[in-house]
Chain A
Amino acid sequence: EADIYQTPRYLVIGTGKKITLECSQTMGHDKMYWYQQDPGMELHLIHYSYGVNSTEKGDLSSESTVSRIRTEHFPLTLESARPSHTSQYLCASSEYGQPSGYGYTFGSGTRLTVV
């Protein structure tokens, strides 16, 4: 049973649209992350947060923004979608104090297609 939920699972949207990908976790984890994953490629970190009102950009912020108003919620917003944003977006969370990468819980992902 998933403790981290991503919606929608699949999304097809036109170029220029604003979209928000939702991520919620029920584990009370302080740390949350957004990754982009393309087939056969590494996970690329887009944004991360170590707690409420704390957000940082990763290696690939890709014209997106995040917010962390509540511990359990970490939405990702694309202000103007482009075909280059077509990818799978994975949300993850972990407990503060654990070594990085250990105990990551990932959501099932949102597959985004921008046409």
Chain B
Amino acid sequence: QKEVEQDPGPLSVPEGAIVSLNCTYSNSAFQYFMWYRQYSRKGPELLMYTYSSGNKEDGRFTAQVDKSSKYISLFIRDSQPSDSATYLCAMSKSGGSYIPTFGRGTSLIVHP
């Protein structure tokens, strides 16, 4: 079993829809949870970062962490065609020396 599971999609939604992207994980030692966005032919860029459980909101984006279920989510409200990209979840243990584990990424397509 992989430490981090993420459905690769693609997920296709109409413009304006609410998008839900998810990852599950098996390692209870993970404390830091991140979402990266990767446009085609570009490197990933950090989108959201959460420590431990709870919610974090930034504009149209909300990250949720449920450590009891080992489940994290990224919600995108009022999705735009410019949100079309691959979204990778990543998580790591506490401590600066731990290398994060990345999910496979979910391809999102927002059509006008």
Question: Do A and B interact?
Answer: yes
Partner of A104, one of B46, B101, B103: B46
Q: Is the CB of B103 within 8 A of A45?
A: no
* Residues from chain A with Cβ under 8 Å of B85 in the complex: none
* Residues from chain B with Cβ under 8 Å of A100 in the complex: 32, 92-93, 95-100
Name which residue of chain B comes closest to A94, CB basis.
B96
Q: Is the CB of A103 within 8 A of B46?
A: yes
* Residues from chain A with Cβ under 8 Å of B49 in the complex: 102
Instruction: Decide: A45 near B99, CB < 8 A? Known: A101-B91, A108-B43.
Output: yes
* Residues from chain A with Cβ under 8 Å of B98 in the complex: 100
Which has the most chain A C-beta neighbours within 10 Å: B41, B88, B94, B95?
A: B41
Which has the most chain B C-beta neighbours within 10 Å: A96, A100, A103, A105?
A: A100
Looking at chain B, what size class is its interface with the partner chain? 20 to 34
Which has the most chain B C-beta neighbours within 10 Å: A90, A96, A104?
A: A104
The 8 A CB mask of A80-105 against B (1 = contact, 0 = none) is 00000000001010001111111111
Q: Is the CB of B32 within 8 A of A101?
A: yes
Let me know if A42 is at the binding interface, CB within 8 A: yes
Which residues of B are at the interface with A, using a C-beta cutoff of 8 A?
Answer: 2, 4, 8, 32, 34, 36, 41-46, 49, 51, 88, 90-105
Which residues of A are at the interface with B, using a C-beta cutoff of 8 A?
Answer: 4, 33, 40-43, 45, 48, 50, 58, 90, 92, 96-109
